[in-house]
Amino acid sequence: MVSDNKMLSIREIPLEKLKERIQQLKKKRPGYGKILDFYLKVKEAQDKSKAFLKIEPIKLRKEWKELLAKEGFSLIPKEDYPLDIEASVKLFQTLCQIGKEANPHMAEQVGKIKEALDNKKIDLKNLLKKGVNEQKIEKVSDEFGLDTKVFLFLIQSSAKPSIEAGMEQLRNELDPETWLKGYCPMCGSLPFLSLLKEEEGKRYLLCSYCGYQWRIDRLICPFCNNKEQEFLQYFCGEGEEVYRIDLCDKCHQYIKTIDYRTLEESDPVLEDLATLHLDILAIQKGHQRPVPNPWTT
């Protein structure tokens, strides 16, 4: 039995364990081989970058915690997470290299991005100044004819080590068990995945921006707060009861759930990547994923 604290922190899965799990997943679904190998390379690059990060200590203001308790505001705004810009830019370059070798579409995109960077048309440092701002990235993508998803993925993945380090600094300021809302208490972002843990299947949400995890009720749609059970349904893949899709028929959105009651501790983002077929089914049913992973269209 794993202790609460350890389970709560499914944070750092050692690379060796990640590799083992990738082998298992590939055996089961060889079609995912390429994408999982790509993910491993990205994780390796992020891990390396983490070792040299220089992050400013976050100074919390007292009124922030008061606002959190009284008004349900998140602890800090997304843009206030300090980023190590130099390290992020370096990681961005490494990820571009990895992306170039991943598939022809990424290679083409990386080529366009490099050109715009070399001609000083895109200022990466400036783009990272106030955290990862999706609107800004979308605007730049439009301007240079880039695939927003690819560009956003590269930027987000480059900033991720800094953002997670910031979140770790603040972890002890919050109680993950008592927030119970559909957005992150740390940074206010929407959840990326839902996780069931411990024997009784407590449900947690994983933040799409900072990686924090917090508790929420089992029977609620995190996106529209719908609790009416006749509007909530779920389905699993055949023979894959550890993965399920929770659908809400009120807002027509869905979240993927990974059931860690029967699955050994692993990287939830990896599990998500290895089950894109479930996303396709959910989308066919007419539901949207508010924070899609970059690999679904």
Q: Quick one: which of 38, 153, 192, 212 contacts Zn ion (CB under 5 A)?
A: 212
248 near Zn ion, judged by CB under 5 A: yes
Q: Which of 226, 257, 266, 275 binds Zn ion (CB under 5 A)?
A: 226
DSSP designation for 288? B
Candidate segments 56-64, 141-149, 186-194, 260-268, binder of Zn ion by CB under 5 A: 186-194
Residue of 78, 278, 274, 34 whose CA lies nearest to 170: 78
Tell me how crowded residue 97 is: count the other CB atoms within 10 A of its CB. 13
For position 221 contacting Zn ion by CB under 5 A, the verdict is: yes
224, 281, 283, 291: which one binds Zn ion (CB under 5 A): 224
Reading the block at residue 151, the tokens are 């560009």
Q: Are 195 and 257 in contact (CB under 8 A)?
A: yes
Round to whole Å and give the CA distance between 277 and 29.
11
210 forms part of the interface with Zn ion (CB under 5 A): yes
> CB neighbours (10 Å) of residue 165?
19
Report the chain's C-alpha Rg in angstroms. Answer: 19
The contact mask relative to Zn ion for 101-140 (x = CB under 5 A, - = no) is ----------------------------------------
- Strand 253-259 vs strand 191-197: parallel, antiparallel, or unpaired? parallel
Site residue total, Zn ion (CB under 5 A): 15
Q: Is 186 in the site for Zn ion (CB under 5 A)?
A: yes
Euclidean distance between CA atoms 284 and 270, whole angstroms: 23
- The interface region with Zn ion, picked from 32-40, 59-67, 91-99, 247-255 by CB under 5 A, is 247-255
Stretch that binds Zn ion, among 102-110, 143-151, 210-218, 265-273 (CB under 5 A): 210-218
SS3 per-residue string spanning 47-96: HHHHCCCCCCCCCCCHHHHHHHHHHCCCCCCHHHCCCCHHHHHHHHHHHH
Helix (H, G, I), strand (E, B) or coil at 182: coil
* Cα distance between residue 285 and residue 274, in whole Å: 20
Taking the complex as a whole, the smallest distance from the CB of residue 226 to Zn ion amounts, in Å, to 4
Q: Which DSSP symbol is given to 195?
A: E
> Is 250 among the residues that bind Zn ion (CB under 5 A)?
yes
Q: Would you count residue 207 as binding Zn ion (CB under 5 A)?
A: yes
Contact flags string 15-54 toward Zn ion, x per CB under 5 A? ----------------------------------------
Q: In angstroms, what is the minimal distance from the CB of 209 to Zn ion?
A: 5
CB-CB contact of 55 with 82 (8 Å): yes
Applying CB under 5 A, the span of 13-21, 110-118, 205-213, 289-297 interacting with Zn ion comes to 205-213
Q: Does 159 help bind Zn ion (rule: CB under 5 A)?
A: no
Residue number with CB closer to Zn ion (29 or 215): 215
Among 187, 193, 206, 247, binds Zn ion (CB under 5 A): 187
Give the footprint of Zn ion on this chain (CB under 5 A): 184, 186-187, 189, 207, 209-210, 212, 221, 223-224, 226, 248, 250-251
